Amino acid sequence: MSRAGILIASLTVIMIASTVAPAFAAQMEFRTWVEPNSVDEVEIKFQRTIIINYDEGGMLADELRGQKVAKTFSLTSDDPGVIELRDRINYQLSQLDSSATITDVQIDYDTKLTGRGLNTSVDYKIILTMQITNHVLRESSSGSSGIVDMSWRGLMVPGEVTVNAQGIPHEINLPISFISDVSPGLYNAIRGSEAETLLNNPIMDASGIKNQPLGNWHFLFDPTGINVDAAQFGLSEELAGVVWSSFTMGESSFREGIQTEKEHEATFTTDKIYDLRTIESADSANIFFAGFANIDVLDNQEVVGVYPEAPEGYATTSTGEFPVMIIYGMAGMAAFGGIAIFIVSEKKRKGDIAAGNVQTGIDPSQLVGADTSTGSGG
């Protein structure tokens, strides 16, 4: 293949890839002040992408090319369907032996079908913003830690979830439902195939977050709030005097292993065989606790014990108990190394000048013109 052909092919691949939105699976964000009877907020974002390839064309390709359909809405607990979803989530939490209760739910739904020359993608995104309570099992006191239940973090909602937006019912949890609604031809082609089975897997599934033990998550301790100089740098009164602990999952590490995308493939047949893929990135989560947190087990369930302050003499900030003094020492060594390199370079530069080995540019008086082809404007 010529260079021009390779360049065109590469640009085509880049353009196609750039038009397909990334799928990030379940992403959870949670922050708690570890106060009894408090109501905290947890957000879980579910994303999945479906790609239907038709490189060799076909009747379905002709139907899908150029199609652009979107469905977007937000709903609160004013909708009976959202209330039913809240109750189903609470039932799932009880099955996880969690004491936590969801009191309120907001749904942000955004799904798009985009037909292109070689493929069609369907991008699903559901954001659940929930108010959670009863997750703080015990308040911290002198000599004892507060205890936070974290068994709820792996919630999964099976089956259909139907809500009403502007008086119209929408099933939002099964990928096949959106396709049947906006593209009947594609739905009829998929129906009864292994691809339909794949598209009946629920979108609202954060079980991967529960399956990763908290002990494998990356731990970070932030004592900024108790730094004597914190107030000088604009730290809010709400955060001043408070230390924070965070646990993060979703990174490839020795603890969590290699995190890879979750891909599933299936085929369906109409006038010809078509390939279908579902793509999700590895699940990820960030949880924050006001205080110094550590992982514990209570009644065979993982919990987080939280102290208002770090234990005396604790001099680490992250997983692996890496001492702060070593970090400072490494930074100091890097600084000394930079200074040494600068001194050596400066000494060499002065030596080159003394020896007359100074590099200069071309004297403008030595520049000459040259004729070019008419194709280049000459």
Q: With bands split at pLDDT 50, 70 and 90, how would you rate the model's confidence at 339?
A: confident
Distance CA 52, CA 65 (A): 11
Does the pLDDT of residue 227 top 50, yes or no?
Answer: yes
Summarised one tens digit per residue, pLDDT across range 198-225 is: 999 999 999 999 999 999 999 998 876 6
Two structure tokens written together for 73: 């809405």
Two structure tokens written together for 22: 């990334």
How many other β-carbons are positioned within 10 Å of the β-carbon of residue 64?
Answer: 22
Decide: helix, strand or coil at residue 121.
Answer: strand
Amino acid, single-letter form, for residue 140:
S
Q: Averaged over 28-45, what is the pLDDT?
A: 95
Of 86, 70, 89, residue with least CA distance to 78: 86
> For position 278, what pLDDT does the model report?
97
> For position 197, what pLDDT does the model report?
97
Q: What are phi and psi of 88, to 5 degrees?
A: -70, -40
Which residue is associated with the tokens 């014990």?
Answer: 305
Domain ranges of the chain: 15-220+245-290, 328-352
> For position 240, what pLDDT does the model report?
60
Q: With bands split at pLDDT 50, 70 and 90, how would you rate the model's confidence at 330?
A: low
Q: With bands split at pLDDT 50, 70 and 90, how would you rate the model's confidence at 23?
A: very low
Two structure tokens written together for 152: 């709820």
> For position 14, what pLDDT does the model report?
39
Summarised one tens digit per residue, pLDDT across range 116-175 is: 999 999 999 999 999 999 999 998 887 789 999 999 998 999 999 999 998 999 999 999
Does the pLDDT of residue 87 top 80, yes or no?
Answer: yes
Q: With bands split at pLDDT 50, 70 and 90, how would you rate the model's confidence at 269?
A: very high
Q: Which residue has the higher pLDDT, 335 or 35?
A: 35
> For position 20, what pLDDT does the model report?
41
Does the pLDDT of residue 320 top 60, yes or no?
Answer: no
Of 240, 239, 237, 238, residue with least CA distance to 228: 240
Two structure tokens written together for 100: 């936590």
Of 153, 150, 155, residue with least CA distance to 297: 150
Amino acid, single-letter form, for residue 200:
N
* Percent of the residues in the chain that have a pLDDT greater than 70, as a whole number: 75
Distance CA 266, CA 276 (A): 5
Summarised one tens digit per residue, pLDDT across range 273-295 is: 999 999 998 899 999 999 999 99
> For position 16, what pLDDT does the model report?
41
